[in-house]
Amino acid sequence: MLLNITRENHTPLHQAERERDRLPPISSHSSSGLDRGPKLPYPSLNFISNHRKEDGSHSLSSQFILPGIRHGMVRHGRELPPICPNVRLKHQHQHRITVDNLPPEVRARFASDPVMPLRTKTVKEFQEDIERATVSGDWKHVHDFYLTTFGSFLELNAAFKKDASPPFNTIEDSGINTKFVNAVYDALSHTPPDAQRAVLKGIINSLLREWKGSRRTKDDLRAYFILVQNPQCTSPATYVIYAHLLRQIAALAEADHYFLMHWFKKLSQKRFKQLVERLHLFISTRLFPVKPEELPPMAKCSWWIPSATKVLSLLNAANIISSTPILPFVDFYNPTLDHTDFMEDYRIWQTQGNSTRFTFCQFAFILSTVVKKAVIQKDSEQQMISMARQSLVDKVSRRQRVDMSLLFLNIKVRRLQLVSDSMDELTRNRADLKKKLKVSFVGEAGLDMGGLTKEWFLLLIRQIFHTDHGMFTFFKDSHCHWFSSWKCDNYSEFRLVGVLMGLAVYNSITLDISFPPCVYKKLLTPPVVPCDLDPPVGMATLTLDDLQQVMPDLSHGLAELLSYEGNVEEDFCTTFQVSQEELGVIKSYNLKPGGDKIPVTNQNRKEYVQLYVDFLLNKSIYRQFTTFYYGFHSVCASDALMLLRPEEVEILVCGSPNLDMSSLQKAAQYEGYSKTDPTIRAFWDVVLGFPLKFQKRLLHFSTGSDRVPVGGMADLNFKISKIDASTDWLPISHTCFNQICLPPYKNKKELKQKLTIAISNAEGFGLE
């Protein structure tokens, strides 16, 4: 096909080419050499022919043909073709002439053996060329540089490789002069349009050659690594070329992806972020093009988005394996996907898994927490409806009276026996945990519109996590709770905490829980409860960094042990045995068999630290956490959990601690007031001037939680209402409606005084 295209665009042929065409084919299979490469649908690049006509060069013809010749020869034992069909060699089976039979002086280099041209231009020389062209207006020299450099993978390596000789076949160093690449790309936008078109033309030709050839060296990977950084790919006009580049990168072997991943992590944060943003823009534009006529029909380029997403996954992997994340994980979210049919995507993923059919759920890092929360909620709603329907059918089949309360998980508790009553109710209604939650307090009239449920969660969590209860230990240095390691016969209360967390996610309630991040890692180990109960759960692979978030002082001490330059055995006098206090009693545990007799040395101290961390965060609390794990998953058993990162589980359970009162002001609704009323203006002046501590109290006073839900402040539906009452009254809140009621205070000072008193003393629905 490429041969035909080339001939069409370079007619008339030279006499030498006509003579060549009269020769017999290399072999009956030689054409297959042109068809090498992945057998994926490859849209036509007919527009390339226009560029070739303008160029008028014949060099492409031989370059396109040679790979086919090479593969044809290799495939048949490197046999030379016969001079013509009528020539018969005597004894050809016994004395067949091959390249291997030729004497050394007759052998010639194969045309397929690439010889890298020598390019010596430096960054400084290039920048001087740009400056001269800018002053003189003569851009020919710069134009020729761009045209030559981007004309082939070989030229890209010749221009940007640090040294042409060493192979640089290492993940630690791409061998690319990154400073030169950045300078060339930064200058590109300031060059005339013909220079920019020359780059695009060169990329087209390079990709066509590479697509039909075979990749053998890391130089080809280096070329992809350079091309994918091209800033021209932000324009929809270049998206056809960009899509083919992404597709070729996505189709590389896993080993090649491994190299690219490590090279990507070496980029500066600025360049790395540009790559991520460029891919997001490409995906978003393909999904919702501003001008659909600028892009091919979706039916003809259905592979665009999968290819871009796969390349984005390489960048995400590079971000993960980097010692310090280059970008926050939220930068890999694509908000455009919030407006797609993600439930259909989830359904396909559920039924087909990671099959050949592309779904965004296969690449969950690209889905925002908003999407994941919506998936979990809709999945929960379906399970709730299913449970309620089953209960209804059971009642009807038994000809029993149908009570609408059977559609809900009804919890009725006494305030003075809150923990024990809650545990009894949840145990008794274990089969109904996936129904909609309704809470009532004994002896109190009230309809649960959400406020009673919030209060129940709030009061129950506070009691369970109180240090007097003994289930959890609070570490002041890290401001978090951790599981008490004491041993007992009954761990059912830990199951209650797990159920509460599951119910909170299931019913979209944010909890005031201060667990360290490693708890959520353990909750997702594994994300789906194993069918066989024998495999251990919650045994995550944790490090010293995880311990730092729980016990910073101990973590610091262990880090000093690892970096100690003296004799560890003599100076520390430590063995593979550790001690900890349990209910006032000091108990010792061996980290490995015979640990009390194994000294910690310079050679085994890494093993000691890893075993110690594993003991503290996994083994010493295994029974407690296992019960907690099964409690959580008894409510939240959903495939959607496999889409979540540990940080996202924490946000779903606890909300986000990052308050933005300006966003709350923009999203606020008013009843009886308008946003220009003096009382409202004074209210926001006071609130925006509050320290963070008081802003959290205000949020807790009006919503029942000081955390921000997944969708942000706008999801709170925060409302300020006017009450015709004396200005001596304090503000009133309705947490079930996220509503605060204000009398028309006379001035800002009075409003601030009354509001401060209210938010500093409120508890649930009343004052203590």
Sign of CA dihedral 234, 239, 245, 246: positive
In angstroms, how far is the first alpha carbon of the chain from the final one?
84
Contacts (Cβ under 8 Å, ≥6 apart) of 549 = 478, 480, 516, 517, 518
Instruction: Give strand ranges (E) for 436-592.
Output: 436-441, 472-475, 480-483, 577-582, 585-590
Catalytic status, residue 531: no
Contacts (Cβ under 8 Å, ≥6 apart) of 404 = none
Q: Are 667 and 473 in contact (CB under 8 A)?
A: no
Cis preceding linkage at 599, omega within 30: no
Distances in Å between the Cα of 24 and the Cα atoms of 1, 21, 581 are 18, 8, 88
CA atoms within 13 A of residue 761's CA, in its CB half-sphere: 12
233, 361, 518, 736: which one is catalytic?
736
Residue 527: closest CA among 517, 518, 535, 538: 538
Contacts (Cβ under 8 Å, ≥6 apart) of 384 = 434, 435, 436
Q: Are 639 and 613 in contact (CB under 8 A)?
A: no
CA atoms within 13 A of residue 86's CA, in its CB half-sphere: 0
The structure tokens listed for 8 are 């069409």
CA atoms within 13 A of residue 306's CA, in its CB half-sphere: 15
Alpha-helix runs per DSSP H in 99-192: 123-136, 140-149, 153-160, 178-188
60, 65, 66, 69: CA torsion to nearest 10: 180
Q: Are 206 and 223 in contact (CB under 8 A)?
A: yes
Residue 259: closest CA among 176, 174, 156: 174
Residue 674: how many other CB atoms lie within 10 Å: 8
Cite the active site residues.
Answer: 736
